[in-house]
Amino acid sequence: MEIKGIIPAMVTPMDENQKVDVEATHRHIDFLISKGVHGLFILGTNGEFHVLNKQEKIDFAKIVVDYTQGRVPVYAGAGACGTQDAIELAQGLESVGVDALSVITPYLIKVSQNELVDHYKMVANAVKIPIILYNIPANTGINIDPETVAQLIDVPNILGIKDSSGNMENTQGYIDLGKDHDFSVLVGSDSKILEGLKRGAVGSVASTANAIPEHIVGIYDAFHANEIEKAEQMQKDVDYIRAVGKLATVPSMIKRCVTVRGNNVGEARFPVSAVGSKFDQEIKEMFAEYGIQ
């Protein structure tokens, strides 16, 4: 499969009982695809994978795959602290038809780089679909070193990495490795999308694309149209929504932004507190900066 473009780190819509809201999920998928996104990234950090059980994850992936019907690729998070847990989840997600898996590093325990290599090889060998490594050291306490990627890059179904480190030298290390291999780099930091594209990344997994997908896709399109000044201004303007996102705990604010824009995707699951309408004025002012009413 070709990995590229703007891929929203999709929120998981919840109803008032904190159960998955199927209809809101369908509406969100249609909204994102209508705005030109190149894929859907589910069950990531902003998709609240950490508060969903294994069966909920598999069931949600099936909902998304069945409704998307191949319009764009579906990437699904299959990470876990334990290798066996990650394998079982990966196989479950593969069975419902996701196009690729995103596998975060183990977290809580700081495993060695050699242990990371073993972990990823075992997960990759347990499935047939593509795997995207997921590096987010601020949350996991572990960075996937470029030297570690070099040991994984020849595994047939490990096809790329999502780098949310925010460290562009780290990202560059991955990009340099990928130049002579079928290996793609996706930027996971919304403030670094354009810089990543300039360095050779193929796209971005962006949480802000839940609420302003046309703007984030616009950065990608402007870059590829060689409209660099326009792309730079659009990248700078991402700061408006990033500021709003910092008003409460992830992913409560991005979910509220989606709700204020017209599709009620509910609150984040506990222990994240409900935000209700507390910040709606700030959200509306933010949307106004993007010309969205």
pLDDT in tens, 2-32: 999 999 999 999 999 999 999 999 999 999 9
27 three-class SS:
helix
Spatial neighbors of 24 by CB under 8 A, at least 6 apart, are 13, 15, 263, 264, 265, 266
Whether 172 maps to a domain, the answer reads yes
- Distance, in Å, from the CA atom of 26 to the CA atom of 150, rounded to the nearest integer, reads 39
Phi, psi (deg, nearest 5) at residue 285: -65, -35
As a whole number, mean pLDDT of residues 138-164 equals 97
Residue 187 labeled ligand binder: no
**Number of domains composing the chain:** 1
Element holding 178 (H helix, E strand): helix 168-178
The half-sphere exposure of 64 on its side-chain side, counting CA atoms within 13 A, is: 31
Whether 163 maps to a domain, the answer reads yes
- Distance, in Å, from the CA atom of 23 to the CA atom of 66, rounded to the nearest integer, reads 13
Q: How confident is the model at residue 293 (pLDDT cuts 50, 70, 90)?
A: confident
- Distance, in Å, from the CA atom of 254 to the CA atom of 259, rounded to the nearest integer, reads 9
Name beta bridge partners: 62: none
- One DSSP character per residue, 86-141 reads HHHHHHHHHHTT-SEEEEEPP-SS---HHHHHHHHHHHHHT-SS-EEEEE-HHHHS
pLDDT at 149: 98
Phi, psi (deg, nearest 5) at residue 38: -105, 0
Q: How confident is the model at residue 132 (pLDDT cuts 50, 70, 90)?
A: very high
How far is residue 241 from each of residues 59, 184, 200, 212, 276, measured CA to CA in Å?
A: 30, 27, 25, 9, 18
Element holding 165 (H helix, E strand): none
Whether 283 maps to a domain, the answer reads no
Which domain range does residue 101 map to? 5-227
Spatial neighbors of 275 by CB under 8 A, at least 6 apart, are 247, 248, 252, 253, 256, 267
pLDDT at 248: 98
Tell me: the pLDDT tens digits for 240-261?
Answer: 999 999 999 999 999 999 999 9
- Distance, in Å, from the CA atom of 30 to the CA atom of 68, rounded to the nearest integer, reads 8
pLDDT at 150: 97
As a whole number, mean pLDDT of residues 56-80 equals 98
Active-site residues: which are they?
Answer: 134, 162
Tell me: the pLDDT tens digits for 258-280?
Answer: 999 999 999 999 999 999 999 99
As a whole number, mean pLDDT of residues 203-224 equals 98
Element holding 133 (H helix, E strand): strand 131-135
Q: Is the pLDDT of residue 1 over 90?
A: no
Tell me: the pLDDT tens digits for 80-116?
Answer: 999 999 999 999 999 999 999 999 999 999 999 999 9
46 three-class SS:
coil
- Distance, in Å, from the CA atom of 68 to the CA atom of 40, rounded to the nearest integer, reads 9
As a whole number, mean pLDDT of residues 46-53 equals 97
Whether 254 maps to a domain, the answer reads no
pLDDT at 48: 98
Whether 124 maps to a domain, the answer reads yes
Whether 260 maps to a domain, the answer reads no
State the CATH number of the domain containing residue 161: 3.20.20.70
As a whole number, mean pLDDT of residues 129-146 equals 97
pLDDT at 229: 98
Whether 206 maps to a domain, the answer reads yes
The DSSP secondary-structure symbol of 99 reads: S
pLDDT at 193: 98
Rg of the chain on CA atoms, in Å: 18
- Distance, in Å, from the CA atom of 166 to the CA atom of 169, rounded to the nearest integer, reads 9
Whether 270 maps to a domain, the answer reads no
